Structure 1
Amino acid sequence: MKIGLVGLGHLGKLHLKSWLGLPKVEVAGVYDIDPVKTRGAAADFGVRPAASFEELVEKSEAVDLVTPTITHFELGKRVLEAGKNLFVEKPLTSYVDEAERLIEISEQTGRLLFIGHIERFNPAFEKLLSFAPEPLFIEVHRLASFSPRNLDVDVVLDLMIHDIDLVLKLVKSKPVEVRSSLAPVLSAQPDIANARILFENGCVANLTASRISVAKMRKFRLFQKEAYFSVDLLEKTLEAYVLLPNAAHIPPEDLVRLPLSFGERSIAMTQFQPTAESDMLTAELSEFVAACQKRGTPRVTPEEAMEAVRLAQKVTKAGLTSLAVLQNA
């Protein structure tokens, strides 16, 4: 498959490196709005530079869009209308109406629209899904150091969008109330955000995201009836604690009973750590190739990516409203 790559910033170069390592994939060319980046990447990686976006799309069977979020709609629209399959980094778009339109064009042209929510490929999250969780409360912290790369959007679309997507995958219920607080600290956009999301089924998710922290953190804690899960998405590890009847002499596979009893029940736990280093980006791009060749369904549907954008918009709107009240007090 001939792939064209648009966007040669830090993440774009990571994509390029992964593409060059995949079998049965040919990098048809690379393009960046900055010609110096285009020529530099072409020389460094031994690939063909495209003179224009149109030339790149024409020479490709599929296009990988690793550009600022504010460009996703217009560039993605042009790729799909040219009859090419599209991989676009998260978030799908800045606004829901743009996401709806891209989905429409994808359906009209019969071309694949694949959104890069990479945390869905995290082995710790995959392990969490294997427990078929039914969360009552979710606590998430995603902290990153400051970088000038993604200042076209606020911290909600930059970082929290990862966890919004994961929470929506886990809860499987409609959000009915959103409260949030935002603060611009080092940029004109909010750099730190906290959101409390109430779902129709009663689950509550509390999400914190910051792009001005000294230390990195990607922690995900989930509480449900008779179980607690702690996931470190950065380290790709998971701990699970489950309450089991004492009469169950043999706990389920890979659970170890702890010397903690609660009447006729006791706690069993398990720890998960991947046996080998997981290359989530390569796994994600490989799934895109398979989906282009009709050999699989993307694990993140365009509709799911759109709902993540919808909820992110609600978080930002609620936070900006609260911020305005504070500033005018």
Structure 2
Amino acid sequence: MTALRTAVIGVGYLGRFHAQKYAALPDAELVAVVDRDAERARAVAAEVGCRALTDPDDLRDQVDAVSIVVPTRQHYAIAAPFLEAGTHVLIEKPVTVSVAEADALVALAARHGALLQVGHLERFNPAVLEVADLVREPMFIESHRIAPFNPRGADVSVVLDLMIHDIDLILELVDRPLARIDANGAPVISRDIDIANARLQFDNGCVANVTASRVSLKAERRMRIFQRNAYLALDMQARSVEIRRRRDEADADAAPTMADIEHEQRTLEPGDALQAEIAAFLDSIRRGTRPVVSGEDGRRALEAAIEISRQLRENPLPGQP
């Protein structure tokens, strides 16, 4: 099997990990890392054993696939020429800064036969994968994603920094059109929204209550899914799943008793979500299949996140600037 020629554009905190994963995968040849900071590019290149570049244009016709791990505002400008050249692209979330840019990238990928995958990493979390076959027409979903303040993500609101992970997961789990969004939030430490809550209502009646904060005292990533005869609790940080459901043999017409409810706790192996994401990207290229998180998926999550952000700007809480 011929290794796919790959490169990573942007080798800051997260991009360095992308480079490490490509270097470790047997079906990938890491050709180069690219960063406008030449010293950083050289340091990461030395670590993973590839060339160091400072200009993405120097990769033209030299790679089959790239990871783009730069600030969101640069996503479109860097990704578009690669897609036009038929090069496959894995782009970090959010896919772009606007829905129009996302639509343009999706169209370019389709026109030039390139694969576009968006880096919504939680899709590869072991807890999420564990319940994929258990979710059946959710009626209510509750998610909390909170973390202490980190200046590294403060160039965008908490919606695009953290909440968008859960928006993507919920849209995939429910798989129905959104009928209504209501959101509230406030800046606390930064100039942008640091804590937010959104209520997503779908056309089938399902409701999701989504909370994200980057000004908390601890880190937590939890989701609870309620559906007919079952309740699923995911701890995406501890990688565990708790399942409570009505036993199959229970009388569906009778009022349930405690004996009718079975409880299961599953603690999962840690796994490596980023390696799984990159391996899935390469596998989709080889097989010619739709990526796990397509450009359309990334666009869908971005559209909802932008509407939430609009409401937060236009409907400030009392006393909020």
Question: TM-score higher than 0.5 here?
Answer: yes
Question: What does the per-residue CA deviation read over 1:16-56, in whole Å, with 9 as the maximum and x for residues that have no partner?
Answer: 11111100211110111222211221233332111421003
Judge conservation of contact 1:18–1:282 (CA < 8 Å) in 2. yes
Pick the aligned partner of 1:181 from 181, 184, 196. Answer: 184
Q: Residue 234 and residue 284 in structure 1: after superposition, are their counterparts in 2 closer, same or farther (change >3 A)?
A: same
Following TM superposition, by how much is the alpha carbon of 1:295 offset from its aligned partner in structure 2, in angstroms?
A: 5.4
Determine the C-alpha separation between the residues in 1 that align with 2:288 and 2:263.
37
Match of 1:187, SS state, is coil
Counterpart check, 1:281 vs 2:284: no
**Which amino acid in structure 2 is aligned with residue 134 of structure 1?**
E
Counterpart check, 1:303 vs 2:301: no
1:29-68 paired onto structure 2 within 5 Å: 29-68=32-71
Q: Residue 315 and residue 51 in structure 1: after superposition, are their counterparts in 2 closer, same or farther (change >3 A)?
A: closer
Q: Residue 59 and residue 200 in structure 1: after superposition, are their counterparts in 2 closer, same or farther (change >3 A)?
A: same
Determine the C-alpha separation between the residues in 1 that align with 2:18 and 2:34.
13
Judge conservation of contact 1:241–1:269 (CA < 8 Å) in 2. yes
5+ residue gaps, structure 1: 249-260
Q: Residue 188 and residue 78 in structure 1: after superposition, are their counterparts in 2 closer, same or farther (change >3 A)?
A: farther
Question: What does the per-residue CA deviation read over 1:203-233, in whole Å, with 9 as the maximum and x for residues that have no partner?
Answer: 1111111122221100101112221111001
Counterpart for residue 247 of structure 2: 244
Match of 2:180, SS state, is strand
Question: What does the per-residue CA deviation read over 1:259-318, in whole Å, with 9 as the maximum and x for residues that have no partner?
Answer: xx82597101222222x3311111110111111112543112221211111111111111
Question: What does the per-residue CA deviation read over 1:115-158, in whole Å, with 9 as the maximum and x for residues that have no partner?
Answer: 11111111211221211322111110001222222233211111
**Which amino acid in structure 1 is aligned with residue 309 of structure 2?**
T
Q: Residue 57 and residue 213 in structure 1: after superposition, are their counterparts in 2 closer, same or farther (change >3 A)?
A: farther
Counterpart for residue 266 of structure 2: 272
Q: Residue 83 and residue 230 in structure 1: after superposition, are their counterparts in 2 closer, same or farther (change >3 A)?
A: same
Counterpart for residue 262 of structure 1: 256
Counterpart check, 1:318 vs 2:321: no
Tell me the C-alpha RMSD between the 2 structures: 1.9
**Which amino acid in structure 2 is aligned with residue 204 of structure 1?**
V
Judge conservation of contact 2:184–2:317 (CA < 8 Å) in 1. no
Judge conservation of contact 2:186–2:320 (CA < 8 Å) in 1. no
Determine the C-alpha separation between the residues in 2 that align with 1:6 and 1:247.
55
Match of 1:152, SS state, is coil
Judge conservation of contact 1:144–1:216 (CA < 8 Å) in 2. yes
Counterpart for residue 138 of structure 2: 135
Match of 1:93, SS state, is coil
Using the size of structure 2 for normalisation, the TM-score is: 0.92
Judge conservation of contact 2:7–2:19 (CA < 8 Å) in 1. no
Q: How many residues align?
A: 315
Counterpart for residue 151 of structure 2: 148
Using the size of structure 1 for normalisation, the TM-score is: 0.90
Counterpart for residue 257 of structure 1: none
Match of 1:314, SS state, is helix
% identity of equivalent residues: 37
Counterpart for residue 253 of structure 1: none
Judge conservation of contact 1:246–1:265 (CA < 8 Å) in 2. no
**Which amino acid in structure 2 is aligned with residue 300 of structure 1?**
V
Determine the C-alpha separation between the residues in 2 that align with 1:31 and 1:42.
9
1:17-166 paired onto structure 2 within 5 Å: 17-166=20-169
Judge conservation of contact 1:179–1:319 (CA < 8 Å) in 2. no
Match of 2:287, SS state, is coil
Judge conservation of contact 2:117–2:292 (CA < 8 Å) in 1. no
Determine the C-alpha separation between the residues in 1 that align with 2:208 and 2:27.
42
Determine the C-alpha separation between the residues in 1 that align with 2:180 and 2:106.
26
Determine the C-alpha separation between the residues in 2 that align with 1:309 and 1:31.
26
Counterpart for residue 210 of structure 1: 213
Judge conservation of contact 1:143–1:212 (CA < 8 Å) in 2. yes
Determine the C-alpha separation between the residues in 2 that align with 1:145 and 1:49.
34
Judge conservation of contact 2:246–2:260 (CA < 8 Å) in 1. yes
5+ residue gaps, structure 2: none
Determine the C-alpha separation between the residues in 1 that align with 2:124 and 2:161.
18
Following TM superposition, by how much is the alpha carbon of 1:201 offset from its aligned partner in structure 2, in angstroms?
A: 0.9
Question: What does the per-residue CA deviation read over 1:52-107, in whole Å, with 9 as the maximum and x for residues that have no partner?
Answer: 21003442221110111111111111211232111101111121111100011111
Determine the C-alpha separation between the residues in 1 that align with 2:67 and 2:95.
13
Determine the C-alpha separation between the residues in 1 that align with 2:6 and 2:13.
18
